[in-house]
Amino acid sequence: MIGFANGTGDEMRRLLTSVAFLLLVSPALGQAPSPSTPELEQKVNAILSKMTLEQKIDLLGGVNTFDVRGYPERSLPLLHTAAGSIGVRNDGPATVMAGGISLASTWDTALAEKVGTQIGRDARVKGKHFLLGPGVNIYRSALNGRNFEYLGEDPFLGSQIAVAYIKGVQGQGVAATVKHYMGNNSEFDRHNTDSQIDDRALR
């Protein structure tokens, strides 16, 4: 039986059920004004009750790089993800928009929403359900190789542009996934480094 070091198998089952529920409804959360209805709860519970523990655990990991495993027999389709704050990557040619810093420099939330709308359309046409973007890391180093996709040094401006962009993407039925909240300041070996940032810098 799988269990926590200081817990029980029942706690693990509750955790996995909660995570599976979130994965099942996450596309709806990006689009619906009210994410929970009795009908939705009933549908999710019916699906979860037919899944094995192994199937629920499988939903926690990816498959085929950038996909979430599907169980068609349980009415759970394979979900496709694409990288890209400035365009829909991964599958052939892509329309590339101006970098995040360029978008933020306009101070134009209506334009940010239009850009998000177009990227959402592109993702939808390519059969993508999730977009890994926007990137919202705040500039701390001019040497950061991904500054082009972030929204600058001003957290308020960046947040306003990001919200508008997300509305545009999700208005097309694609879930935007905010990434790189903070501390992603170097591309070199970035999956194996530790960004140690003091409280003052984080404020």
CA distance 181 to 150: 10
Between CA 154 and CA 50 the distance in angstroms is 48
When mean pLDDT is compared across 1-10, 32-41, 153-162, the lowest value belongs to 1-10
Residue 6 — pLDDT band, cuts 50, 70, 90? Answer: very low
Identify how many contiguous H helices and E strands the chain contains and give both numbers: 7, 5
pLDDT tens digits, 110-145:
999 999 999 999 999 999 999 999 999 988 888 888
User: Cα–chain-centroid distance for residue 50?
Assistant: 27
pLDDT at 190: 79
Q: Does residue 175 have a pLDDT over 60? A: yes
- Asked whether the predicted pLDDT for residue 167 surpasses 60, the reply is yes
Percent of the chain with pLDDT over 90: 48
pTM above 0.85, yes or no: no
pLDDT at 26: 52
Find residue 83's DSSP bridge partners: 132
Tell me the residue type at 96: V
Cα–Cα distance between 88 and 120 in angstroms, integer? Answer: 8
How far CA 140 is from CA of 33, 34, 150, 160, 186, in Å, comes to 35, 37, 11, 19, 10
- In terms of Cβ atoms closer than 10 Å to its own Cβ (0-12, 13-18, 19+), residue 152 is middle
Q: Does residue 189 or residue 112 have the better pLDDT?
A: 112
Structure confidence at residue 169 (pLDDT) = 97
HSE on the CB side for 57, CA within 13 Å? 7
pLDDT reported for residue 29: 46
Please give the structure tokens belonging to residue 149.
């996709």
CATH topology for 80-202?
TIM Barrel (3.20.20)
The pLDDT value recorded for residue 64 is 86
Domain boundaries, the chain: 9-65, 80-202
Residue 134 makes CB contacts below 8 A (sequence gap 6+) with 85, 100, 149, 151, 162, 165, 166, 176, 178, 179
147: nearest Cα among 102, 198, 95: 102
